[in-house]
Structure 1
Amino acid sequence: MRISTVTMYEQSVGSMNRQQADFMHLSQQLASGRRVVNPSDDPQAASRAVAVGQSQAVNQQFSDARVSARNALSQEESVLNSVSDAVASAKALVIQAANGTLSDADRQSVASELRGIYETVLGQANATDGNGHYLFGGYQDSSAPFVSSGGSVGYEGADQVRKQRVDASRDMPVGDTGRDIFLSVPSGSGFVASQGGPDSTSVDGGNTGSVTFKGPDVIDSAVASASGRYQVVFSESGGDTTYSVLEQDDSGTWVSAGIDGEPYDAAGTTVEVGGLRMELKGQPADGDKITLGPADEMNTDLFKTFEKVLSVLESPAETDAEQATLSNTLNVAMREFDASLDNVLTKRASVGARLNELDVIDSVSGNRELNYAQTMSDLVDLDYNQAIAEYSLRQVGMQAAQQAFVGMRDLSLFKYL
C-alpha cells in the first residue's frame, strides 16, 4: 500500500495540533486551578457544580439578610434600653412627688422634669432605623407611629410586625410594634386600682370625695389568678356611708359580687374580694367608685400614665378631695410604671433571644458553607500533583510529535534533487 506524502504531512500536523491542544488545556487548568474548565471536561461534575453554586448564592443571601436583621434588632435593643431607663427614672420621680411634705411649687418642679422624660420616651417611640423605617411602626412608614394631639398620644402605626427571611425555614420578626411596647403590659403583672370607672378619662375618675386606697394586694393567689375586674361603689344615706362590690361578667355587665351595703368606716376599712385586699381610708362621696383588676385589663398605655401624673402634679392639691386624687394617682402610677417597665424588659429579652438565634444560625450557615466549598472543590478543583505530572508528559509528547514531523519531512525525494 502506498501512502502519499500529503497524507503523512496531514497526519503529522494533526498529531502536533492534538498534542498542542491537550498541552494548552492543561495550561488552562493549571492557570485557573480548576479541573473542569469547560462543561465538556466533565458534564456530570459541571452540572452538580451549578447546583452547588446556586446553593452557595442562596446561603450568602440569607447571610446578608441576617446582617440586616441584626442591625435592626440591635437598634431596637438600644432604644428599649433607653426607654427602660426613662421609665425607671419616671417612677423615681413619682416616688419623690408622693412625699407629703412637698408644696405645689415643688411638685411643679418634679412635673417639669417628668415632662422631659415623657418627651424623651415619645421621641424614642418614633425612632427610625436610619433608612426611613420607624422601629415601632410595623409596616407603616408614611408617618410617625405615635402622634401627640390635644395633650394625649395616639398610636397610628400598623399592628403587623416586619419579618425577615434569615434562613430557609425561618421568618424572623425584626422589630416590634409600638402597641406591643408602649400600650401593653405582660399578663401576670399584678393588680391595679383606679379612681372612678374603668373608662373614666378624668384624673379623679369623677370622684368628689376624699377616699384613698392602698393595694390591691394578693392574699390568695389561687383565687386571684382567676379574678377579673371589681368595683367598689360607695353610697350615703342618712349620714351613714356603705359600700358594695360589683364584678364584671363575661358580657361586660357589672353585677353584684356578693358584698352589698357593708358599713364603711372613714378611719379605715378593709375590702377583700376575689383573693385581693384593699385598704380604704377617708370620706367618699355618694356615688364614688374605685375600680380594681388585673394590670393587663386596666390602663396599659404608658403615655396615658405619664399624662395623668403630669396633670395631677401640675394642679394644686388644696382640698381633701384634691389631695386624695393626688395620692391615689401617684400610687396607681407606680404600679403602672412597674407593669410598663416589666413589659419593656420582656420585649428587650425577646430581642436578645432573637439576636442569639441569629448567632446560632450564622454558625450553622458557616458549617453549611464549608460543606458547599468542600463539595465544589471535589467536583471542579484541580489535583496539582496529577496535573503537573500530566503536563510534563504532554510536553514530552508534543516534543516527540515535533521530532517525528522533522524526521518525516526529511524522507521527501525532493531532498535528493
Structure 2
Amino acid sequence: MRISSVTMFEQSTASMNRQQSDFLKVSQQIASGRRVVNPSDDPQAAARAVGVDQSMAITEQYADSRVSARNSLSQTESILNSVSDAVTSAKTLLIQASSDTLSNADRESIASELKGVYETLIGQANATDGNGRYLFGGYKDNAPPFSKTDAGIEYRGDSNGRKQQVDASRQMPVTENGKAIFQSVTGGAGYIAKAEPQNSGNVTFSGPTAKDVNDDSYGQAFTIEFSVDDNDTTYTVTGPEGEITSGAYVGDGQQISFGGISLALKGEPANGDKISMAKAGSEDMPADLFKTLEAAIGVLENPAETDAEKAALRNTLNSSMRELDNALDNVLTVRASAGARLNELDVIDAVGSNRMMNYTQTLSDLVDLDYAEAISEYSLRQVGLQAAQKAFVDIKGLSLFNYM
C-alpha cells in the first residue's frame, strides 16, 4: 500500500481537528456547568429536559396563583371576622334595649349606635381586594354588590363565587358572594316568629322552640290567629293545608305546640291579631341581615307608650335577636370555610414545593455536569490534543532527502 505525503498530512490534520473538537466540547461543558450544552450532545436527555422545564414552569404558575388566592382568602377571612364582631355588637345592643327600665330616649340612643353598626356592615359588605375588585359580588366584581334603595339594601351581585386554579386538579373558590354571607342562614337554623304589624293587642311570644323535627309538618309555615268574643279568647293555628289545631287562649306563659314546635305566649291579644312562623331562610321568612337591623332600628326609634307599642317593641327585638343569632352562625360557618381553604393552600404549597424539588433533581440528573468526571475528561482531551500535535510535527519532519 502506497501512502503519500498528502495522505499523512490530511490524516494528521483530521486527528488534530477531532481532538480539538472534543477538547472544546469539554471546555464548554465546564464553562456552562451543563453536560448537555446542545441537543445533539444527548438528544434523549434534551427532549426529556424540555418536558421537565415545562412542568416546572407550570408548577411556578400555580404557585403564583396560590399567592393571589391566599391574599383574597385572607382578606375575606379578615372582613368576616369584622362582620362577626359587628353582629355580636348588634346583638349586645338589642339585649340592652330589651330592658324594661329604659326610657324612649335611652332606646333612641341605642338605635343611634345600631345605625353605626349598620353602616359598618354595609362598608364591609362592599369591601374590595388589592386590585379594586369587590370581594362579595361574585363575578360581578366591578360595582358595589350592595346598594341603598328606597326599599332598603339591595344585593346586585350574583350567586357565584370567583374561582382560581391553584393546582392541576384543584379549582378553588377564593371569594364568597354577598348573598351567602348577608342573606343566608345555615342548614340547621330553626323557626323565626314575627307578630303582624297591624296587631293592636299586647300579646308577646317567646320562641319558637323545636320539639320534634321528625313531625310530618315540621318545616312548614304556620300562622296563629286570635279571636276575641266577649270574654272568651281562642287561637287557631293554620298551615299550608289549613287548620292544624285550635283552643282556648289563657295567656300567662301558655305553651302552644304544633307541627313539631312550640311557642310561649303572654299578654292579651286583640281580635284578629296574628303571629307568623316559618323556617329561617325560607321563602316565608327570608334571611337578610340588613333588613333585620333596619327593623330593630325602626322600632327603637319609635316611642313605646301603649301596651300594644311595648308588645310590638318586645316582639320585634325577640325576632331580631334570633335572626342575628342565625346570621352570626352563618358568618362563622363561611369564615370557617375560608380558613379551611387557607389551610388547604398550605398543604398544596408543600406538595408543590416537593414536586419542584423532584423536577429540579430530575433536570439536574439529565443535563447537569459531573465536574469530577468532566475535569478528568478535560485533562485526557488536553493530553490527546498535545499528542496529536506532537505526532503531526514528527511526521511533517520525515523526508527521504534527509538520507540521500
TM-score with structure 2 length normalisation? Answer: 0.95
Q: How far is the alpha carbon of 1:270 from its aligned partner?
A: 2.1
Could you list the structure 1 runs, at least 4 aligned residues long, displaced by more than 6 angstroms after superposition: 413-417
Q: How far is the alpha carbon of 1:49 from its aligned partner?
A: 1.1
Q: Which residue of 2 aligns with 1:102?
A: 102
| Alpha-carbon distance in 2 for matches of 1:294, 1:153 | 22
Worse overlay, 345-354 or 1-10: 1-10
* Pair 1:274 & 2:259 matched: yes
* Pair 1:360 & 2:352 matched: no
| Alpha-carbon distance in 1 for matches of 2:187, 2:280 | 8
Deviations 1:337-394 (A, max 9, x none): 0000000000000011111111111111111112212211221111222111111100
Q: How far is the alpha carbon of 1:208 from its aligned partner?
A: 2.2
What are the equivalent positions in structure 2 for 1:115-264 lying under 5 Å apart?
115-150=115-150, 152-196=152-196, 204=197, 206-223=198-215, 226-249=218-241, 255-257=242-244, 259-260=245-246, 262-264=247-249
Matched positions, count: 402
Amino acid aligned to 1:244:
T
| Alpha-carbon distance in 1 for matches of 2:161, 2:101 | 47
Deviations 1:121-145 (A, max 9, x none): 1100000002121110000023100
Q: Does the CA contact (< 8 Å) of 1:187 and 1:295 recur in 2? A: no
Worse overlay, 365-374 or 41-50: 365-374
Q: Which residue of 2 aligns with 1:39?
A: 39
- Specify the SS of the correspondent of 1:223: coil
Distance 1:339 1:2, change over 3 A: same
TM-score with structure 1 length normalisation? Answer: 0.92
Q: Which residue of 2 aligns with 1:350?
A: 337
| Alpha-carbon distance in 2 for matches of 1:96, 1:317 | 16
Distance 1:151 1:97, change over 3 A: farther
* Pair 1:285 & 2:270 matched: yes
Q: How far is the alpha carbon of 1:190 from its aligned partner?
A: 2.3
Q: Which residue of 2 aligns with 1:199?
A: none
Distance 1:49 1:311, change over 3 A: same
Q: How far is the alpha carbon of 1:268 from its aligned partner?
A: 4.1
| Alpha-carbon distance in 2 for matches of 1:188, 1:366 | 40
| Alpha-carbon distance in 2 for matches of 1:414, 1:319 | 142
Q: Which residue of 1 aligns with 2:356?
A: 369
Q: How far is the alpha carbon of 1:413 from its aligned partner?
A: 6.8
| Alpha-carbon distance in 2 for matches of 1:161, 1:12 | 75
| Alpha-carbon distance in 1 for matches of 2:267, 2:104 | 21
Q: Aligned residues: percent identity?
A: 60
Distance 1:216 1:8, change over 3 A: same
Deviations 1:34-74 (A, max 9, x none): 11111111111111111111111111111111111111000
* Pair 1:337 & 2:324 matched: yes
| Alpha-carbon distance in 2 for matches of 1:165, 1:414 | 84
Q: Which residue of 2 aligns with 1:294?
A: 279
Distance 1:237 1:398, change over 3 A: same
Q: Which residue of 1 aligns with 2:91?
A: 91
Q: Mind listing any 5+ residue stretches in structure 2 that lack a counterpart?
A: none
Q: How far is the alpha carbon of 1:236 from its aligned partner?
A: 2.4
| Alpha-carbon distance in 1 for matches of 2:147, 2:122 | 9
Distance 1:404 1:137, change over 3 A: same
Q: How far is the alpha carbon of 1:415 from its aligned partner?
A: 8.2
Q: How far is the alpha carbon of 1:151 from its aligned partner?
A: 5.8
- Specify the SS of the correspondent of 2:62: helix
Q: Does the CA contact (< 8 Å) of 1:118 and 1:303 recur in 2? A: yes
